């Protein structure tokens, strides 16, 4: 068998084995239902009868875990939206340029994605209306390694439930604009993230977090 034929056979096998899990497809559809605005049609492939959800835009399934969703990459960046810059830029009202941001709220249905390791929702308007704190239920996504909620205009206390994400390596809750809308009044939850390598809390109000030197000292 030629190398090319072998490669083609392998990729066919990989394709066939990567069919999405029905409960996970339903969870993705419920997430999409929480998105009330999608001006650039970024979730246009996310539909019932839309075939294998592992092929939907931004969804990645694993070969090794029978097609479970392992990553959701829904960052709003201007480049992906057809803009020229690699970075999303803010217009004079503080809105992300390119008009590609998803608008709405993050559905708790994501909790059904039990194998999810990578979640990037950054730079979308998914703070809810009126804006809520980052959802506490995200602390139930026990396999997460990477969580990027930067540039979402949440408001209120960061839930200590994020301290349940004991596999987390990357946590980004920063915003590049605006007054401090989110706050953390105690940071002891950080000490429960032993594998954390990257932490970004810029624009999070820590003025009432008297334990921050201790919490930060406990980070690896
Ligand atoms: C599945 O495995 C193939 C072959 O190793 C690899 O090229 C492909 O990127 C994998 N796909 C996913 C979604 O992991
Ligand atoms: C999170 O996403 C933003 C862009 O939306 C990016 O600039 C930042 O580097 C990301 N953070 C991490 C830890 O990857
Ligand atoms: C997650 O963390 C919160 C607050 O730190 C705690 O009250 C809750 O019981 C934890 N949930 C689980 C499932 O461990």
When pLDDT is averaged across residues 77-97 and rounded to a whole number, the result is 57
Residues lining ligand 1, Cβ inside 6 A: 14, 60-63
Minimum CA distance residue for ligand 3 atom 6 = 161
Peptide bond into 130 cis (omega under 30): yes
Mean pLDDT (the chain) is: 86
Question: Is residue 192 over pLDDT 60?
Answer: yes
What pLDDT score does 80 carry? 46
When pLDDT is averaged across residues 60-70 and rounded to a whole number, the result is 87
pTM of the model: 0.84
What pLDDT score does 84 carry? 46
Instruction: Using the mean position of ligand 2's atoms as its centre, give its distance from the Cα of residue 9 in Å.
Output: 36
Residues lining ligand 3, Cβ inside 6 A: 139-140, 160-161, 163-164, 189
- State the closest ligand 3 atom to the C-alpha of 140, by its place in the atom list counted from 1: 13
| pLDDT band, residue 216 (cuts 50/70/90) | confident
Residue-range domains of the chain with CATH: 22-217 (3.80.10.10)
């Amino acid at each position: 068998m030629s190398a090319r034929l072998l490669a083609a056979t392998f990729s066919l096998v990989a394709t066939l084995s990567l069919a999405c899990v029905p409960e996970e497809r339903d969870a993705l559809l419920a997430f999409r239902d929480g998105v009330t605005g999608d001006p650039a049609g970024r979730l246009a492939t996310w539909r019932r009868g839309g075939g294998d959800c592992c092929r939907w835009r931004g969804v990645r399934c694993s070969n090794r875990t029978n097609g479970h969703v392992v990553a959701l990459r829904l960052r709003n960046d201007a480049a992906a939206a057809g803009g020229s810059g690699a970075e999303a830029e803010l217009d004079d009202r503080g809105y992300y340029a390119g008009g590609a941001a998803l608008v709405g709220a993050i559905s708790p249905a994501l909790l059904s994605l039990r194998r999810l390791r990578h979640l990037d929702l950054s730079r979308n308007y998914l703070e809810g209306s009126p804006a809520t704190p980052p959802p506490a239920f995200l602390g139930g996504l026990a396999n997460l390694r990477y969580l990027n909620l930067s540039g979402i205009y949440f408001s209120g206390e960061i839930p200590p439930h994020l301290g349940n994400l004991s596999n987390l390596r990357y946590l980004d809750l920063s915003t590049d604009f605006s007054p401090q809308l989110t706050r953390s009044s105690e940071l002891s939850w950080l000490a429960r993230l032993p594998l954390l390598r990257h932490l970004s809390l810029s624009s999070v109000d820590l003025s009432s977090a008297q334990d921050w030197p201790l919490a930060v000292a406990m980070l690896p």
